[in-house]
Amino acid sequence: MEELEQRWATLAGDSPAATRAGADLLARWSEEHRHYHGTGHLAAVLDAVDELAGAASDPDAVRFAAWFHDSVYDGRPGDDEAASARLAHDVLTALDRPARQVDEVERLVLLTAGHDPEPGDGNGAVLCDADLAVLAGTPSEYAAYASAVREDYAHVSDADFTAGRYAVIAGLLDRPALYRTEAGHRRWELPARHNLETELVLLRASAP
- The tens digit of pLDDT for each residue in 57-106 reads 999 999 999 999 999 998 776 689 999 999 999 999 999 999 999 999 99
CA 188 – CA 31 distance, rounded (Å): 29
Whole-angstrom distance between the N-terminal and C-terminal Cα of the chain? 42
CB contact at 8 A, 136 and 192:
yes
Q: What's the pLDDT score for residue 32?
A: 92
Amino acid at 140: S
Instruction: For the beta carbon of residue 76, count every other beta carbon within 10 angstroms.
Output: 11
Q: In CATH, what number is assigned to the domain containing residue 65? A: 1.10.1300.10
Domain that holds residue 202: 2-206
CA 156 – CA 34 distance, rounded (Å): 14
CA 3 – CA 40 distance, rounded (Å): 11
Global pTM reads 0.94
CA 70 – CA 54 distance, rounded (Å): 23
Q: What's the pLDDT score for residue 21?
A: 98
Burial class for 195, CB neighbours closer than 10 Å (0-12, 13-18, 19+): buried
Q: Is 56 helix (H, G, I), strand (E, B) or coil?
A: coil
Among 42-46, 53-57, 152-156, the range scoring the smallest mean pLDDT is 152-156
For 164-196, write each residue's pLDDT tens digit. 999 999 999 999 999 999 999 999 999 999 999
Number of domains the chain is built from: 1
